[in-house]
Structure 1
Amino acid sequence: MSDDVLIPYETTLYVRDHCLCLQAQRAARALARRFDDALRPVGLTNGQFSLLMSLNRPAPPPMGPVANLLAMDRTTLTAALKPLERRGLVRIEADPRDRRGRLLRLTEEGRRLLTQAFPIWKETHEKVDAQLSAVDMNALRAGMMALA
């Protein structure tokens, strides 16, 4: 194989400037860091906040719908639940209708922590929305949901 450049540098710049996947990844990482920093005082990451919030339902959900909402496979969801379960924020229970299934219950401690975390999330989100004031946020969310 020769040392010849097969793809010109201009192509790299074109991809950098046009690739939606790259821009979405960069934005996701920047948002994740921002929310991680904001939620650090209550001992949560943005992913843990989203997971706890996804369990804030009238009845404990099964793993499948939670994994689907968070765009995770069940194995990844199980790994993400373990530290929350160890902290007493979440309980994983057998489904009484199907003992093979698992239901995910937010504990009282989990609800208390989520109650502390929500105002932090809301304030951080308001700052992000203000930073993007020139963007139609409903269109942005709709576009992102269409891709998800």
Structure 2
Amino acid sequence: MKNTDTSQGCTNLKLRQLTRMVTRHYDHYVATCGLKNTQYALLSYAVSLEPVRPVDLARHMQMDASTLTRNMQPLVAQGWLTICAGNDARSRRIEVTTAGREKQAQAQRVWQEAQLTIVAQLGAERVAALHQLLEECIDCLDNGGEDASEPPHQCP
């Protein structure tokens, strides 16, 4: 029997629409510092975790290693990040330069403006509820690194 209940629509589509709108909002602010939102996030994670191995940074950011490497290239080229030798010949670590720390601090100030603006537009209660709902959904969908082909566990 065909399911004809479309009253809730496609969750993926709704989330992607919201994500694009929110990303545009933050990108507008962070671009004034010469960064993309993804670059600001990467730089901020690197600052907070430094020194960090690329594999650990990728895990914290919920991205694969090849995407991390690609996203780091402009930050390395600008002199904001350096990739150094790790504890052994096969490992590497990421460090933030002084210029990178300054860029991250500059971008954090405009990111805070973007955050205040979006909270003003949506309302603090709605933002808090959205954050809580998103965290709950992330917890329900997180399969703990299990094979993605396996069905995820069910949340109550």
Q: Report the TM-score range of the alignment, normalised by the length of the smaller protein.
A: 0.7 to 0.9
Does 1:53 find its partner at 2:40? no
Pick closer, same or farther for the CA change 1:100–1:139 going to 2, 3 Å: farther
Aligned equivalents of 1:19 and 1:69: distance in 2?
A: 28
Task: Confirm whether residue 66 of structure 1 aligns to residue 65 of structure 2.
Answer: no
Amino acid across the alignment from 1:130: A
**Is 1:27 matched with 2:50?**
no
Match of 1:3 in 2: none
Distance 1:141 1:26 in 2: 17
User: Which residues of 2 match residues 84-123 of structure 1 at below 5 A?
Assistant: 84-96=75-87, 98-123=88-113
Of 21, 35, 39, 1:44 maps to: 35
TM-score by length of 1: 0.81
- Tell me the distance in 1 between the aligned counterparts of 2:130 and 2:79: 36
> Does 1:145 pair with 2:135?
yes
**For the structure 1 residues 93 and 38, does the alpha-carbon distance in structure 2 shift closer, same or farther, using more than 3 Å as the test?**
same
Structure 1 gap segments, 5+ residues each: 1-6
Q: Which amino acid aligns with 1:95?
A: G
Provide the C-alpha distance between the structure 1 equivalents of 2:136 and 2:68, rounded to a whole number of angstroms: 23
Give SS of 1:100's match: coil
| Secondary structure of 2:50 counterpart | coil
For residues 26 and 108 of structure 2, the distance between their equivalents in structure 1, rounded to whole angstroms, comes to 11
Aligned residues: 137
1:77 matched to 2:68? The reply is yes
Separation of aligned partners in 2, 1:109 and 1:134: 34
Amino acid at match of 1:50: A
List alignment gaps of at least 5 residues for structure 2. 139-156
Instruction: Map Cα deviations across residues 45-104 of structure 1 (whole Å, 9 max, x no partner).
Output: 1000000000112631111222122221000000000011000011111212x3322211
Deviates more, 1:119-128 or 1:60-69: 60-69
1:100-142 Cα offsets, whole Å, 9 max, x none, are 2221111110101111111100011111111111644333223
